[in-house]
Structure 1
Amino acid sequence: MKPLLFKVPTVDDRSFRIEQDSFPHFYGHLHFHPEIQVTLIKEGEGTLIVGDKIDRFGPNDVLMLGSNLPHVLRSDPDYFLPDTTHRSIAISVLFHTEQLEPNVLNLPETRHLLHLLQESQHGIRFRCNEDHPLAQKFEQLPGQRPFEQLLTLLSILDFLSTNDNREVLSVTAFKHPQRPEDHQRLERVFSYILEKYHSPISLEDVANVANLTPGAFCRFFRQHTRKTFSTLLNEVRVEHACRYLRESKQSISQIAFSCGYTNLSNFNRQFKEIMGMPPGEYIRKYHS
């Protein structure tokens, strides 16, 4: 398996890098890199994992991911179909703080951005729409001169730092990468759960994926995610159930069974615990 320390290619001595991604699906493996990443998702939907946070991502989400923060944008299954017409499109800026902090970010006019960089160790999300000024700033980046790109990057960071609607994602901050073999185990476990969530998954099954005994796996998983395996599995299943409740015409019981639950009352209990409301209320609130 390839190491999960993701190396961002560099082609010059620039202090930051602009990337444009346009693929059927995003890179679907849990990974981290030393660069801070600021991304606008233009197209694409799926499961977002940032640190210990599991949620949905969608068009016009702006994400800021701190240095060495484990993350993955796992596109929905239909993005992986051979004949898919879906696209996953994003514009990203990646930069090292040590190249900007000694000079640019220590000016009196930019010091307020240092708190944002610290906050990014937990992951940050801001939701907007395609006409939002922040989304337009990202759109302008690829065609700008390097000097203009730097000014736009600082403008993006300034907006995020001064906007109270930004959302901090992960409870846990990841300041240093852990052992590569730990990341490989986590990646195998997350990939297995995201692919098999709709089927029965036992503790023994997922422990075998991690090549650990059940007891050792429980300790390992709690140490690295601050969650139990059952908590994470329920979060993944409920996250998918929310999408089906919004988009499909299936009954609540059909959705529960399609997301891996064999007992409707258990599904209702887990859904309310995670979402703060029962499935029926969630549907009414979404369509109101």
Structure 2
Amino acid sequence: MEFTGFNKDFMIGDKVALVTGAASGIGKAIVKLFAEKGANIILVDILDDKMAEVAKELNSHGSDTLCLNYDITKTDNVKDLVEKSINKFGKIDILVNCAGVALLDNAEEISEEDWDKTMAVNLRAPFLLSKYVGQKMIENNYGKIINIASQAGVIALDRHVAYCSSKAAIIGMTKVLALEWAEHNITVNAVSPTVILTELGKNAWAGEVGEAMKKKIPVGRFGYPEEVAASVLYLASDAADMINGTNFVIDGGYTIK
């Protein structure tokens, strides 16, 4: 991979991006920014109505879209959605594994069902998508994969045993894929946010619990979905061709202590 310069406006107009969890929160912010920068978007989510609304907004920016409602923890579903994406667009240039769940409980109390669901959504699904999209990227000798991990993959958080474990595993997976696929002109990176003020984040961290948490973050505030999206755009762009296997932490300094 030779350095040939990069688009300083971070336009990705010739790219096709597949984003999971695209109907809300961080995923929605990512697809909106990608559309503004010219990409065509494959939206994958289980929220059909919300996904259709987001797609209409992306279409207003001139993006061609494909909405796919799938349980991405199932191998056959992932294979099918990848084939449908290739049939429509002919390629997938960018994969963003954003869908996730956070099922919290004390380590001695968490149910095996919650553990298994966390691993299925947060780890198995990103692996399956990376595997089957990665096969197409290898054929095309190009690709950008960005996995949404978490500060919980770097440090311990109370009542987060399943979540922390799944996100630490995603960071490890990212490094292996980055190592194996670099020769195919594919980069793989992770992004690890702190508390982000999605609708769920606003509700979960309202009031005293939120104020106490913000005091632990050196910059003194939580993040916004648009800030995560900006980092993902950078990693998806040709400006980041030399960045591979990194974990891009967006936490206001929370994990430096």
TM-score (ref. length: structure 2): 0.27
Q: Which has the higher contact order (CA 8 A, sep 6+)?
A: 2
TM-score (ref. length: structure 1): 0.25
Structure with larger Rg = 1
